[in-house]
Amino acid sequence: MEIKGIITAMVTPFDENQKINETAARQLVDKLISQGVHGLFILGTNGEFHVLSDDEKVEFAKIVIDQAAHRVPVYVGAGACGTQETIKLAQRMEAVGADALSVISPYFIAPTQQELADHYRKVAEAVNIPIIMYNIPKNTGINIEPETVKSLIGVKNIAGIKDSSGNMENMQGYIDAGKNSDFVVLVGSDSKILPALKIGAAGAIAGTSNVIAELDVSIYENYLKGNLEAAEQAQKDIDVLRGVLKLGTVPSVMKRAVTLLGINVGDARYPVSKLPAEADEQIKAALAYYKL
């Protein structure tokens, strides 16, 4: 499979009892694919992996993989604090048909770069599908350094990295490390999709594409066609949605926006609280900007 394009960091729909909502999940998968996304990335930050049990994660992965039906690749989050726990979950996700795995760096403690490299090697050896490392230092407290990535290039199954650091120099380091290899770099900061493509990223894992998939896809498509002006404008337009995302804790506003557009994905799981009713007006105003 080719790892590229706009890949939606998909939200996990819940019902009013905060249980996985299979109907809404299937609807959202179909909608996103119909809007042209190049892949689905589940059980990441926007997918609330941090508040789901492993059994729930596997259940949700089965639903999404079944509904996607090989129309686009499904990248499945399988990261955990411990290497053994990560391997166990990664193997379960491979068994249910994940096309690739996303593995966040261990969090809470701060492993050394050598420990990080060992962690990824052990996970990669334990499965037979591609692994995308996931760098989000703001949340994990640790950056996967470009030198560490360089040491993992060529390790079987380590296919790429998602960089949500927002640091272009860091991303450039990853891109340089992967030169002359099949290793891919995906940007995880929606405000940096076009700048990342310009320096050699293969695509973006974009949370905003839950809501504005066609706009996000247009950045990628216009960039490929050389329509830089249109790509620049689309990149700027994302900021309207990004502005309202600050109204609540991740991913409460994103989920509310998806619900307002017709697929009831429910609220974020506790401890994230329900958005106040007045937030709807600002969210609706942002959606109106996109004529949604």
Burial 185-194 (b: 16+ CB within 10 A, else e): bbbbbbebbb
CATH number of the domain to which 184 belongs: 3.20.20.70
pLDDT of residue 272: 97
Q: Which domain holds residue 71?
A: 5-228
Tokens found for residue 112: 């050394």
Per-residue model confidence as pLDDT tens digits over 239-276: 999 999 999 999 999 999 999 999 999 999 999 999 99
Domain count, the chain: 1
Angle between helices 83-95 and 113-125 (to 10 degrees): 30
pLDDT of residue 137: 96
- Identify whether 274 is part of a domain: no
- Identify whether 129 is part of a domain: yes
Strand, coil or helix: what is 114?
Answer: helix
Angle among Cα 32, 34, 36 to the nearest 5 degrees reads: 75
- Identify whether 249 is part of a domain: no
Per-residue model confidence as pLDDT tens digits over 70-123: 999 999 999 999 999 999 999 999 999 999 999 999 999 999 999 999 999 999
Instruction: Report yes or no: 92 and 127 within 8 Å, Cβ to Cβ.
Output: no
pLDDT of residue 85: 98
Per-residue model confidence as pLDDT tens digits over 5-55: 999 999 999 999 999 999 999 999 999 999 999 999 999 999 999 999 999
| Preceding omega of 251 cis (within 30 degrees of 0) | yes
For the chain, percent of residues with pLDDT exceeding 70: 100
Nearest-angstrom CA–CA distance, 214 and 292: 11
- Identify whether 253 is part of a domain: no
**Which positions make up the binding site for pyruvate?**
205
- Identify whether 96 is part of a domain: yes
- Identify whether 254 is part of a domain: no
- Identify whether 33 is part of a domain: yes
- Identify whether 98 is part of a domain: yes
pLDDT of residue 55: 98
Mean pLDDT (the chain) is: 97
Per-residue model confidence as pLDDT tens digits over 115-136: 999 999 999 999 999 999 999 9
pLDDT of residue 199: 98
For the chain, the C-alpha Rg in angstroms (whole number) is 18
**Which positions make up the binding site?**
205
Q: Which residues are catalytic?
A: 134, 162
pLDDT of residue 40: 98
A 10 A CB-CB count for 102 gives: 31
pLDDT of residue 263: 98
